[in-house]
Amino acid sequence: MLCPPEPSPGPQPLDGPPADPPTSPLPLGPPERGADSSPKGPPSPLAGKDSSFEDLEQFLATSERRGQSPGGPPEPATPGLKEPLLEQLRSTVKDIHNAIDRLLSLMLLAFEGLNSAVSKDRCLACIEEPFFSPLWPLLLALYRSVHRPQEAALSRSMELYGKAPPAAIGIPSKLLPQGPEATGTGTYPYRAAAQELGLLVLESCPQKKLECIVRALRAICACAEGYHRAHEPAPDAEPQPGTAAIGADDLLPILSFVVLRSGLPQLVSECAALEEFIHEGYLIGEEGYCLTSLQSALSYVELLPGGPAHAAETGTSCTGGSTAFAPALT
Amino acid sequence: MAVAGGGGGAAAGRAYSFKVVLLGEGCVGKTSLVLRYCENKFNDKHITTLQASFLTKKLNIGGKRVNLAIWDTAGQERFHALGPIYYRDSNGAILVYDITDEDSFQKVKNWVKELRKMLGNEICLCIVGNKIDLEKERHVSIQEAESYAESVGAKHYHTSAKQNKGIEELFLDLCKRMIETAQVDERAKGNGSSQPGAARRGVQIIDDEPQGQSGGGGCCSSG
């Protein structure tokens, strides 16, 4: 088992007395955590960690039981029901961040040489897979209970628009195939991207999931370029680099179409969890852009106008949002 | 990897990482604008696999290394509500309008309001009148645009993506302003008034200097 070493023995780590951490900057995760990493905090980090996972399992068991008896109304009123879930999620998220911080600290205590920005990133990358793989299914279940209204709205939209032609989602015809691929029964445009999203839900390591999202968006760009080229069989020399390059104006409608075809409402929960746990350095880069775009497409799809049943179902969760920008479905 | 490169000493050897969002209605030419900027004459393989949606550029300004990440956003009205998740944590915003299209200038005004509301004064705003090659068809007066920009603390630029005019200047100036803002930020932090909210912002300056590991204290207290 992992056990924090005694602080007393001989060579102290370079990092000064253990009393100063709350003020020391650590380039990880949200700042609120600083508050409870004070030395007078939880008596034993490991006990804290174990019990929080037990809590999570216990919580999942009870929420399943609750789900199995749909007849009887749950004890608290609807707003009260959401609160404990959110609270549970928040504290679980915090526990996970703390656990990762501790693992990182242990690695740095064990190997002083790792104490550089680059090495820390490496350490975190190494921790990630063994740490998250067993945890992700449980964590996702928790995220899914919290995001149940969004998932319901998404699957509703997927039902209503899952077979809608790409032009209905606002994809211009120059970015669509003309040939058999356009009308073929077994396939649809941008299928490669939807397949990548399908792989995402099979992975259990955040980094690998993120890679699936990046590959999905790259697939969109590659397909778009291919379709565009096919429209303009430019006989005059090389096509100018960048003339077929699509910007967000095209990317988002295509991504929304891909989301609809994927038929995976749980993507909204996956993305929420990824946003929380991927390395902060990725948020500004290509990976962050891809995640943000997928989240945007998901909320766009979620808010597509539905039938009256849709309004009743999601009326509580999206406060007035759906009327604010009724999408222009032509 | 987008993490700012580590640097040794106090002032030298750092790399700034800035996030810049690109806003503008459908046909104002924002895609051409960034493609122009990023298709560098020394290296025409600058266009990433995400094409014009997400572009990066490395610069060296007065010895300071800058990594620029340019985030394009969808200009269509129906995606407007999704804006905030794109521009959170941005260091700069480029708001593009078409000088021949009064409507696109009104849209810019809406975005300015929204950005100021959500991100306050820390974000560097650039209002860009594109398509100055179509000067004859101008529908937005220079004076109106410039005085509006001044009134909201933004800077105004004239560009032509078609003729490759004004684009280098626009980005260079924006980078300088973002560096200044980041330095003011750093100084404020140095004075001990560090805001916890800043930890998730785009600028990260990572020193290689050994520093305390937070969480270490909690770890060792069990002994």
How far apart are alpha carbons B184 and A36 in whole angstroms? 29
DSSP A112: G
Bridging pattern class, strands B64-72 and B54-61: antiparallel
**Is residue B192 assigned to a domain?**
no
Domain contains B120: yes
Would A38 be classed as within a structural domain? Answer: no
Cβ neighbours of B193 in A, within 8 Å: none
| Cβ of residue A239 closer than 8 Å to a chain B Cβ | no
Q: A166 in a domain, yes or no?
A: yes
Average of per-residue pLDDT across A312-328: 38
Say what the pLDDT of residue A181 is.
Answer: 56
Q: How many angstroms separate the CA atoms of A190 and A223, rounded?
A: 6
Whether B4 contacts B14, CB under 8 Å: yes
Rounded mean pLDDT, B61-68: 92
Residues of chain B found within 8 Å of residue A21, distances taken between Cβ atoms:
212-218
Q: How far is B172 from chain A (nearest CA, A)?
A: 20
Which has the minimum average pLDDT: A7-21, A100-114, A204-218? A7-21
Once rounded to an integer, what is the mean pLDDT over residues A199-227? 93
Stretch A1-8: mean pLDDT, rounded?
Answer: 42
Position A15 in a domain:
no
**Does residue A119 share a domain with residue A216?**
no
Residue A125 and residue A249 share a domain: no
Would the pLDDT of A241 be above 70? no
Looking at the domain assignment, is residue A179 inside a domain?
Answer: yes
Q: What pLDDT digit, counting tens, does each position of B20-31 carry?
A: 999 999 889 998
Question: How confident is the model over A63-83, as pLDDT tens digits?
Answer: 555 444 444 444 444 555 557
Confidence at residue A251, expressed as pLDDT on a 0 to 100 scale: 94
A193 and A92 inside one domain = no
Tell me what pLDDT residue B99 has. Answer: 96
Q: What is the pLDDT of residues A50-67, one digit of tens each?
A: 455 555 566 555 555 544
Assigned domain for B110 exists:
yes
Range A214-225 average pLDDT:
93
CB-CB under 8 Å, A116 with B72: no
pLDDT of the residue at A177: 87
What's the mean pLDDT in B87-98?
95
Residue A107 backbone phi and psi in degrees, to 5: -65, -40
Token digits of residue A42: 């939880």
| B45 pLDDT higher than 80 | no
For the segment B157-163, the average pLDDT, to the nearest whole number, is: 93
Same domain, A116 and A188: no
Encoded tokens for B51? 């094409």
**Within a domain: B32:** yes
Distance from CA of B185 to the nearest CA of A (A): 15
- The pLDDT mean for chain B works out to 80
Following CA atoms A174, A179, A183, A185 in sequence, which dihedral angle do they give, to the nearest 10 degrees? -130
Q: B50, B58, B70: which to substitute to probe chain A, counting the most A Cβ within 10 Å? A: B50
Residue A62: the pLDDT is 56
Put simply, whether A323 touches B (Cβ < 8 Å) is: no
**Average pLDDT of the segment spanning A193-210:** 95
Contact B2 A285 (CB under 8 A): yes
Instruction: List helix spans (H) across chain A.
Output: 45-68, 78-110, 117-146, 148-161, 180-183, 191-200, 206-231, 248-262, 267-277, 286-302, 308-314, 321-324
pLDDT at B65 over 90: yes
Which residue shows structure tokens 């560098």? B40
Q: What is the CATH number of the domain that holds B28?
A: 3.40.50.300
Radius of gyration of chain A (CA): 24
The stretch B191-204 carries a mean pLDDT of 45
B119–chain A nearest CA distance, Å: 16
Within 8 A of A38 by CB-CB distance, chain B residues are: 217-218
Give the mean pLDDT of A262-275.
Answer: 96
Contact of A94 with chain B, judged by CB distance below 8 Å, is answered with: no
List the domain range (segments joined by +) for residue B68. Answer: 15-184
Residue at token pair 């628009």: A161
Band of residue B38 on the pLDDT scale cut at 50, 70, 90: confident
Interface check for A262 against chain B (CB to CB < 8 A): the answer is no
Asked if B87 and B131 touch (Cβ cutoff 8 Å), the reply is: no
Residue B15 has pLDDT above 70, yes or no: yes
Both A186 and A105 in a single domain? no
| For residues A126-144, average pLDDT | 95
Provide DSSP, A272-295. HHHHHHS-GGGTTSHHHHHHHHHH
- Residue A173 confidence (pLDDT): 87
A256 and A228 in one domain? Answer: yes
Does a structural domain hold residue A35? Answer: no
The confidence score (pLDDT) of residue A128 equals: 93
Please tell me the predicted confidence (pLDDT) of residue A26: 40
Quote helix, strand, coil % in chain B, to nearest 5.
Answer: 40, 20, 35
State yes or no: pLDDT of A115 exceeds 80.
yes
- Is A45 within the bounds of a domain? no
Record the tokens describing residue A285, joined without a space.
């880069």
- Helix (H, G, I), strand (E, B), or coil: what is residue A269? helix
User: Where is average pLDDT lowest: A90-94, A310-314, B51-55, B119-123?
Assistant: A310-314
CB contacts, 8 Å: A244 with chain B: 51
Q: At what angle do helices A45-68 and A78-110 cross, to 10 degrees?
A: 150
Give contacts of A3 with chain B, Cβ < 8 Å: none
Dihedral sign, Cα of residue A112, residue A118, residue A119, residue A124:
positive
pLDDT band with cut points at 50, 70 and 90 for residue A244: low
Rounded to the nearest integer, the mean pLDDT of chain A is 75
Asked if residue B100 is part of any domain, the answer here is yes
Of A39, A101, A241, Cβ closest to residue B221? A39
Statement to judge: residues A157 and A116 lie in one domain: no
Residues A153 and A258 in one domain: yes
Ordered DSSP codes for A65-77: HHHH--SSPPSS-
User: pLDDT tens digits for B161-170?
Assistant: 989 999 999 9
Rg from Cα positions in chain B: 19
- pLDDT tens, B51-63? 889 999 999 998 9
* Residue in chain A lying closest to B207 (CA): A117
User: Domain check: are A126 and A158 in the same one?
Assistant: no
3-state secondary structure of B160: strand
Final residue belonging to a domain, choices A100, A132, A164: A132
Residue A254 to residues A141, A178, B29, B126, B213: CA-CA distances in angstroms? 28, 16, 20, 29, 44
Q: What is the number of structural domains in chain B?
A: 1
Residue type at position A210: L
pLDDT for the residue numbered A200? 96
Q: Using 50, 70 and 90 to split pLDDT, how confident is the model at B3?
A: very low
Tell me whether residue B104 is in a domain: yes
Task: Determine contact, residues B156/B127, Cβ cutoff 8 Å.
Answer: yes
Closest residue in B to A220 (Cα) is B50
Range of the domain at A306: 148-233+243-314
- Residue A34 CB partners (closer than 8 Å, separation 6+): A22, A23, B196, B214
Residue B70 to residue B34: CA distance in whole angstroms: 8
What is the average per-residue pLDDT within A31-43? 41
Evaluate whether residue A212 is within a structural domain.
yes
Place of tokens 């959500």: B118
Considering the domain architecture, whether residues A218 and A248 belong to the same structural domain is answered as yes
The rounded distance, in Å, linking the Cα atoms of A301 and A321 is 12
Residue A183, pLDDT score: 56
- Which CATH number is A177's domain given? 1.20.1050.80
Quote the number of domains for chain A.
2
pLDDT at B28 (0 to 100): 93
Percent of chain A whose pLDDT exceeds 90: 46
Query: Listing from the earlier edge strand, what are the strands of the sheet with B92-98?
Result: B54-61, B64-72, B15-24, B92-98, B124-130, B155-158
Q: How far is A212 from chain B (nearest CA, A)?
A: 14
CA distance B55 to A289: 10
Nearest-CA distance A62 → chain B (Å): 31
* CA A152 to each of CA A200, A317, A318: distance values in angstroms, whole numbers, following the listed order: 20, 10, 12
Q: Mean of the pLDDT values across residues A150-165?
A: 94
Asked whether the predicted pLDDT for residue A146 surpasses 80, the reply is yes
Give one DSSP letter per residue of B49-101, joined into a string.
TTTTSEEEEEEEETTEEEEEEEEE---SGGGGGGHHHHHTT-SEEEEEEETT-
Quote the pLDDT of residue B48: 59
pTM given for the model: 0.74
User: What is residue A185's predicted lDDT score, i.e. its pLDDT?
Assistant: 61
Does A165 share its domain with A199? yes
Q: Is residue A115 part of a domain?
A: yes
User: Would B194 be classed as within a structural domain?
Assistant: no
Q: How far apart are CA A80 and CA B126, in angstroms?
A: 45
Residues A107, A227: one domain? no
